[in-house]
């Protein structure tokens, strides 16, 4: 019987130990809000165990007396179990607290990230709206520009074009004005011109660097030799090309006549299928003045002696063509090859004679004679001078004061035009002259392309086959540079669109009066529309002179070129589009020789401009202005003639001009 209570007591103890050692609930099964209930439950459990019969029986049982070991050890086990359970519960609650803190921190980070993303989206949307606003404005500006170009072209009837182009327009078959690859740039230029309408122009537009330019003065009239008797024979020259090539050939023939001590016949001009002009020397230049002014230098006659007139020059070997003479041959060539022919046949006939005399090396007095012929001996006939005076009067809008070069260009007609406008205001009216070397012959010969596609290529190729057969043959037998390579090397003439963009970038205002030489532009009105849309005060000789005043010059391209020469040379500023053009070279040289350092000329560096225009689809207008001005400014330096360069274009040399400093 004594063992029974002991067994029951042990069983109850084991049961109570199991109750206290139960594992706490999993971490996710209890929350912070349940802590009070959990503590309350634990307290209730403790009191329940204290008041249970088993517990009471153990308290009164002899075997659990403090004096016996088993009772002492049983109480200790229960205390340890209870402490261990409390520690586990505290650890669980601490871990749960840390986890909740981490969750709250994560929520704050997520909210901050969401707010940042929302701000970025709002900023992107705002930028998009602003970009859309500018895009719509740009499209509207382009449409307005298109309407302006179309309106100008439809209303323009003042410029004369080749008959073939006129017939196309008259029949309604002409192409609409095309903006081509420069549509964007033309729109930007129109906007820039409108913005600076009342702003002052850059100071260097209408003047040269005066101090270094004015240090040179003309002195080609000075002579330091005896007249030539011309006893070694006669020289005939039949010059080819247009007025400008013919002028150069005449000056070279004068020098060769002096070099060989021969007599020069009044030069003749060769009829060309390209120019279709039957003009002779006396139709353009004053023949008597030419003979008399050069008498102290060479002997000049109007015809051969009778015994030589019937001579078959080709049969006797006296005809010398450009194929027989290298380009820019030295004086020694003529002494070695041509002088023997003169001694044998008494006459030599040069056919062509374009650029067949070198500029260096050449004796000082012969070089000066070349300048004297160009700047002093060749004067236009009164018919051209009188019409040129009318042209200048209307270009200046009936101002009373003559220009600095008028008396050298139009002679006594300068006084007559002055008298007609004596009642007008005595105020100088500035105008800019622009030489557009963009006729079909120049375009075809350049082998470049100008945005006209396959139709343009076929048209220019057909023109070459008729007028430049040698060039057509060369294309078939030799690999020539591509149009893109030619353009990058600066070997293509500027298009009218490129020329007008250059002027706008330089700072010429929209109201500027512009005289355009070479009005038979390849492409007709579709090309000219770009010019008139930006500069409405753009005129040609065909607009300023009536049909009756132009009638004596119709079908005489060289005489019409003489009028353009007068209009460009007398301008306050002159801009060329092809620095290799003979016309531009002669005009700019004439302005240097007589201008006194006050006649600026704009010479574009086509290689630099080609690189700028290549970026026409992306470049900003402000950057375009800066780069164009830099490219043109570098060509305005005043310098002496470089070695072997043309004295017609660069007369600042000791043979033609003298320094005053």
Do 474 and 482 meet the contact criterion of CB atoms below 8 Å apart?
no
Strand partners, 433: 515, 574
**153-205 tens-digit pLDDT:** 344 333 333 344 334 423 333 444 445 689 999 999 999 999 988 888 888 88
Do 232 and 347 meet the contact criterion of CB atoms below 8 Å apart?
no
Distance CA 310, CA 339 (A): 21
Cα angle 111, 115, 117; round to 5: 115
- Regarding whether 431 and 521 lie in a shared domain, the answer is yes
- Regarding whether 403 and 285 lie in a shared domain, the answer is no
pLDDT at position 111, please? 66
More confident residue, 28 or 287: 287
Q: Determine, yes or no, domain membership for 271.
A: yes
**Rounded to 5 degrees, what are φ and ψ at 543?**
-85, -35
How far from the centroid of its chain's Cα atoms is residue 173's Cα? 31
- Regarding whether 395 and 362 lie in a shared domain, the answer is no
Q: Determine, yes or no, domain membership for 498.
A: yes
Q: Determine, yes or no, domain membership for 185.
A: no
Measured over the CA atoms of residue 90, residue 91, residue 96 and residue 98, the dihedral's sign is positive
- Regarding whether 335 and 265 lie in a shared domain, the answer is yes
- Regarding whether 301 and 398 lie in a shared domain, the answer is no
Alpha carbons within 13 angstroms on the beta-carbon side of residue 54 total 14
Distance CA 260, CA 338 (A): 8
Average pLDDT, stretch 103-124? Answer: 72
Average pLDDT, stretch 3-20? Answer: 41
Average pLDDT, stretch 576-591? Answer: 92
Confidence of residue 85 (pLDDT cuts 50, 70, 90): low
Distance CA 346, CA 263 (A): 10
- Regarding whether 404 and 295 lie in a shared domain, the answer is no
Average pLDDT, stretch 593-614? Answer: 92
Give me the chain's average pLDDT, please. Answer: 81
Tokens of 453: 């596609």
- Regarding whether 367 and 265 lie in a shared domain, the answer is yes
- Regarding whether 391 and 370 lie in a shared domain, the answer is no
How far from the centroid of its chain's Cα atoms is residue 530's Cα? 15
Residue 597 falls in which region: left (phi positive, over 0), alpha (psi -120 to 50) or beta? left
Q: Determine, yes or no, domain membership for 153.
A: no
Does the bond joining 361 to the residue before it have cis omega, within 30 degrees of 0?
yes
Q: Determine, yes or no, domain membership for 405.
A: yes
Distance CA 74, CA 94 (A): 31
Q: Residues 6 or more apart from 477 whose CB is under 8 A from it?
A: none
The two beta strands, 263-265 and 300-301, are: parallel
pLDDT at position 84, please? 54
Distance CA 517, CA 441 (A): 15
- The 3-state DSSP class for residue 265 equals strand
DSSP label of 205: G
pLDDT at position 326, please? 94
Distance CA 141, CA 189 (A): 11
Domain hosting 360: range is 234-377
Do 355 and 383 meet the contact criterion of CB atoms below 8 Å apart?
no
Tokens of 584: 């531009």
Q: Which residue reads 């290689």 in tokens? A: 607
Q: CB burial class (10 A; 0-12, 13-18, 19+) of residue 501? A: buried
**536-580 tens-digit pLDDT:** 999 999 999 999 999 999 989 999 999 999 999 999 999 999 877
- Regarding whether 372 and 343 lie in a shared domain, the answer is yes
Indicate whether 6 pLDDT > 50.
Answer: no
- Regarding whether 392 and 297 lie in a shared domain, the answer is no
Q: Determine, yes or no, domain membership for 41.
A: no
**454-503 tens-digit pLDDT:** 999 999 999 999 989 999 999 999 999 999 999 999 999 999 999 999 99
Do 345 and 304 meet the contact criterion of CB atoms below 8 Å apart?
no
Distance CA 505, CA 629 (A): 7
Q: CB burial class (10 A; 0-12, 13-18, 19+) of residue 596? A: middle
- Regarding whether 407 and 287 lie in a shared domain, the answer is no
**Rounded to 5 degrees, what are φ and ψ at 216?**
-105, 140
Indicate whether 65 pLDDT > 60.
Answer: no
More confident residue, 523 or 583: 583
- DSSP alpha helix (H) spans, 52-68: 53-60
Distance CA 588, CA 429 (A): 20
Tokens of 76: 């200790």
- Regarding whether 347 and 409 lie in a shared domain, the answer is no
Count: domains in the chain: 2
Distance CA 529, CA 156 (A): 9
The two beta strands, 538-539 and 657-659, are: unpaired
Distance CA 318, CA 338 (A): 9
What share of the chain in percent tops pLDDT 70?
75
Q: What is the CATH number of the domain that holds 391?
A: 3.40.50
More confident residue, 137 or 350: 350
Q: Determine, yes or no, domain membership for 171.
A: no
Q: Determine, yes or no, domain membership for 107.
A: no
Angle between helix axes 183-195 and 621-633 (nearest 10 degrees) is 90
Element (H, E) at 164: helix 163-170
Tokens of 661: 């400093």
Closest CA relative to residue 201, chosen from 495, 600, 538: 600
Tokens of 17: 């130990």
**Rounded to 5 degrees, what are φ and ψ at 330?**
-80, 160
Indicate whether 26 pLDDT > 60.
Answer: no
């Amino acid at each position: 019987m004594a063992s029974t209570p002991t067994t029951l007591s042990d069983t109850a103890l084991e049961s109570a130990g199991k109750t206290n050692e139960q594992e706490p609930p999993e971490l996710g099964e209890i929350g912070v809000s349940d802590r009070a209930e959990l503590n309350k439950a634990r307290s209730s459990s403790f009191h329940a165990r204290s008041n249970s019969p088993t517990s009471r029986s153990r308290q009164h049982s002899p075997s659990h007396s403090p004096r016996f070991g088993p009772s002492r050890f049983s109480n200790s086990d229960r205390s340890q179990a209870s402490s261990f359970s409390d520690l586990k519960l505290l650890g669980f609650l601490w871990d749960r607290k840390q986890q909740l803190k981490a969750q709250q921190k994560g929520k704050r980070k997520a909210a901050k990230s969401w707010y940042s993303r929302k701000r970025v989206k709002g900023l992107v949307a705002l930028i998009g709206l602003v970009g859309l606003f500018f895009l719509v404005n740009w499209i509207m500006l382009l449409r307005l520009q298109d309407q302006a170009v179309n309106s100008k072209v439809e209303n323009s009837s003042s410029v004369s074009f080749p008959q073939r182009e006129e017939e196309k327009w008259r029949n309604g078959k002409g192409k609409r004005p095309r903006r081509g690859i420069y549509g964007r740039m033309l729109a930007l230029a129109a906007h820039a011109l409108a913005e600076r309408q009342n702003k002052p122009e850059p100071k260097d537009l209408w003047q040269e660097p005066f101090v270094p330019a004015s240090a040179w003065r003309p002195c080609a009239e000075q002579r330091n030799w005896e007249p030539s008797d011309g006893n070694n024979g006669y020289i005939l020259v039949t010059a080819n090309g247009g007025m400008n090539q013919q002028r150069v050939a005449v000056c070279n023939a004068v020098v060769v006549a002096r070099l060989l001590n021969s007599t020069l016949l009044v030069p003749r001009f060769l009829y060309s299928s390209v120019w279709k002009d039957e003009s002779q020397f006396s139709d353009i230049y004053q023949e008597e003045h030419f003979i008399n002014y050069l008498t102290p230098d060479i002997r000049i006659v109007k015809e051969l002696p009778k015994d030589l007139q019937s001579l078959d020059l080709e049969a006797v070997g006296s005809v010398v063509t450009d194929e027989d003479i290298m380009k820019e041959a030295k004086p020694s060539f003529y002494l070695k090859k041509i002088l023997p022919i003169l001694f044998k046949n008494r006459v030599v006939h040069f056919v062509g004679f374009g650029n067949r005399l070198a500029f260096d090396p050449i004796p000082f007095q012969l070089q000066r004679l070349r300048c004297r012929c160009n700047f002093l001996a060749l004067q236009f006939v009164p018919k051209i001078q009188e019409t040129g005076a009318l042209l200048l009067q209307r270009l200046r809008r009936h101002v009373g004061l003559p220009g600095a070069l008028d008396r050298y260009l139009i002679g006594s007609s300068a006084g007559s035009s002055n008298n007609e406008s004596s009642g007008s205001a005595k105020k100088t009216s500035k105008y800019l002259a622009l030489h557009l070397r963009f006729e079909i012959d120049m375009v075809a010969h350049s082998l470049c392309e100008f945005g006209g596609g396959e139709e343009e290529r076929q048209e220019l190729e057909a023109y070459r086959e008729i007028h430049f057969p040698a060039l057509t043959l060369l294309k078939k037998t030799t690999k020539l540079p591509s149009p893109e390579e030619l353009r990058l090397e600066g070997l293509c003439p500027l298009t009218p669109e490129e020329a007008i963009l250059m002027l706008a970038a330089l700072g010429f205002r929209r109201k500027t009066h512009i005289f355009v030489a070479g009005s038979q532009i390849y492409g007709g009105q579709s090309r000219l529309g770009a010019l008139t849309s930006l500069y409405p005060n753009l005129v040609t000789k065909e607009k300023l002179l009536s049909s009756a005043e132009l009638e004596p010059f119709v079908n005489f391209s060289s005489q019409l070129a003489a009028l353009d020469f007068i209009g460009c040379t007398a301008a306050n500023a002159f801009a060329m589009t092809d620095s290799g053009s003979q016309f531009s070279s002669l005009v700019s040289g004439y302005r240097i020789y007589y201008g006194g350092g006050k006649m600026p000329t704009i010479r574009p560096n086509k290689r630099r401009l080609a690189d700028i225009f290549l970026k026409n689809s992306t470049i900003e207008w402000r950057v375009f202005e800066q780069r164009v001005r830099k490219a043109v400014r570098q060509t305005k330096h005043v310098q002496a003639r470089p070695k072997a360069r043309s004295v017609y274009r660069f007369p600042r040399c000791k043979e033609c001009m003298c320094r005053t400093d």
